[in-house]
Amino acid sequence: MENLYNLFPCRKVQINKIHQLLGEEFEPLTDVIFISGHPAVGKTTVIQEYLKHYRINYAFINCVECYSYRLLHEQILVQLTGNKLKCDTFMELIHHLKLLVSKNNEKFIIVLDGAEYLEELNANYFSAFCRLQEFVNCTNICVIFLSSLLPEKFNLHTSVITIHFPQYSKDELLEILKLTKPEDCSHTFYENYLNSALMIFLRMTRDLNEMKFLVSNNFEKYCEPVKKGLVNQDDVTLLWRNILPHFKESLKSIYSGLSTQSIERYLYDPNINEVICTKVSSVLDLPYYAKYFLISAYLASYNAPKHDRRLFMKNHGKQRKRLTKQQVKEKMTLELLGPKAFPLDRLLAIFYAIMEEKASLTVNLMTQISTLVELKLLTRIGESNLERPKFKCLVGLQCVDTVARTLGLNIQKYLLD
């Protein structure tokens, strides 16, 4: 038990609870345990380590993988019996389980991780597993559901025992992260580092895995001034000042998952080889006509067709005064309402209106549109409508604006505002 406590420093309560439910020998098991909690709070590892530690027979199934019944059933049986049995239906599974429990008196646990995916397989499976004890007619078998959703979201009987794994608090995180301490540095130094790191990162994420990654990534930079001998090891404030810019840099990347330092743009070195083109741009690089198509798609999506005449024709007559009053309302709605569908004809009409030179309508030109759809910059609405295909633009103003700028086109000119 002590081992487990040491492995999982802040999970003592939960481990005790699990032990109370599963640890007593010769006591009937409860039918279902539901363990909930956010991702990366130790649900899976705690339960697996516990079961391994006490050498209880168990099957651990990640429900995401079980896209077929057979996979689910056979994996349970393989892990519990050690034999590969063919098992297609739930009834067969129960039959095999019955055989299994009748032979020996040990405990059998089935852990279903990601229980919410079970519903995707079959809506009834969740309730069926809830009553597994009843079906198998034996109290030596128990099902443990693990899920990041709350138990209320499931079709669950109220009597089911639920164990909640709460999110780690700051102190707890500190405690856990201390375990990752590299060998060659002192306790206080590392603790100071963790303190400053958590102060910044805690606002953005509580995911332990991510935190570990951030902490280990930045530690080297934290140590740098000490190694160089510039800063005393105990001078927390100076070290803090040194590391802060690096922290902020990694904060930016948390949600995209891309750390900015890791972006290794492959630039051609002019000294090594002959350079013919040196420009490396990070903006969307599209062929000339595709750019125009993207811009026209954006314009078609965010302008109402009734304004087309005004926006794209040279002699559109005088602008009525009344329009100015309506525009205030319009501006609020146009961007907020999101893109609207437009037919192909309108796209082509706007395309030709904003393009200065003539491009003949060839097959190649039409494939540009499907390329954009393939790249998920446009989407096609209603696959069945061959005669009048409709599209929607999926990119935002900022992206289109940068694309337009590369063409020297002012997109604001064509937008109502």
Using CB under 8 A, count the residues that bind another protein.
Answer: 61
Which residue type sits at 18? Answer: I
359 binds another protein, rule: CB under 8 A: yes
Query: What part of residues 207-226 is at the interface with another protein (CB under 8 A)?
Result: 207, 209-210, 212-213, 216
39 binds another protein (CB under 8 A): yes
Q: Does 364 bind another protein (CB under 8 A)?
A: yes
Binder among 158, 237, 315, 360 for another protein (CB under 8 A): 360
Burial tier of 293 (Cβ tally within 10 Å: 0-12, 13-18, 19+): buried
CB 247 within 8 A of CB 215: no
321 binds another protein (CB under 8 A): no
Cβ 254 to another protein shortest distance, Å: 8
Closest CA to 215 of 171, 179, 177: 177
Tokens (6 digits) for 243 = 């590391």
- Residue 114 in contact with another protein, rule: CB under 8 A: yes
Among 99, 244, 304, 366, binds another protein (CB under 8 A): 366
CB-CB contact of 216 with 258 (8 Å): no
| Least gap, CB of 335 to another protein (angstroms) | 18
Cβ atoms within 10 A of the Cβ of 235, count? 15
Among the candidate windows 28-36, 127-135, 236-244, 259-267, which touches another protein by CB under 8 A?
A: 259-267
The residue assigned the tokens 């922290």 is 247
Q: Which of 161, 185, 348, 365 binds another protein (CB under 8 A)?
A: 365
Phi, psi angles (nearest 5°) of residue 190: -65, -35
Q: Does residue 266 bind another protein (CB under 8 A)?
A: yes
- Each as own residue / partner, the long-range contacts of residues 95-100 (CB below 8 Å, 24 or more positions apart, any chain) are 97/132, 97/136, 97/141, 98/136, 98/137, 98/138
Q: Does the footprint of another protein cover residue 264 (CB under 8 A)? A: yes
Contact 96, 77 (CB under 8 A): yes
Asked if 362 touches another protein (CB under 8 A), the answer is yes
Distance set, CA 7 to CA 36, 49, 175, 176, 253 (Å): 20, 9, 11, 9, 30
366 CB neighbour count, 10 Å cutoff: 13
Q: Segment near another protein (CB under 8 A), from 28-36, 92-100, 152-160, 353-361?
A: 353-361
Q: Is 40 left (phi over 0), alpha (psi -120 to 50) or beta?
A: left
The secondary structure of 99-126 as a DSSP string is HHHHH----EEEEEESTHHHHHH-TTHH
- SS3 category, 78: helix
Binder of another protein out of 83, 158, 159, 281 (CB under 8 A): 281
**Closest to 74 (Cα-Cα) out of 55, 56, 58, 93:** 93
Could you say whether residue 78 binds another protein (CB under 8 A)? yes
Measured from the CB atom, the residue of 233 and 371 that comes closer to another protein is 371
How many angstroms separate the CA atoms of 174 and 171, rounded? 5
Would you give the distance in Å from CA 206 to the centre of its chain? 14
- For position 279 contacting another protein by CB under 8 A, the verdict is yes
We find the least distance from the C-beta atom of residue 258 to another protein, in angstroms, to be: 5
Using CB under 8 A, which residues numbered 122 to 151 contact another protein? none
Is 67 an interacting residue with respect to another protein (CB under 8 A)?
yes
Q: Does 368 bind another protein (CB under 8 A)?
A: yes
Supply the minimum distance, in Å, between the C-beta of residue 387 and another protein.
Answer: 8
Nearest approach in angstroms of CB 62 to another protein is: 5
Q: Which of residues 283-312 bind another protein (CB under 8 A)?
A: 283-290
- The residue within the footprint of another protein, chosen from 227, 270, 277, 328 (CB under 8 A), is 277
Of 302, 289, 312, 306, the residue nearest 372 (C-alpha): 289
The residues of the shown chain that bind another protein, judged by CB under 8 A, are: 39-40, 62, 64-65, 67-68, 70-71, 75, 78, 114, 205, 207, 209-210, 212-213, 216, 254-259, 262-266, 268, 276-277, 279-290, 359-368, 371, 374-377, 387
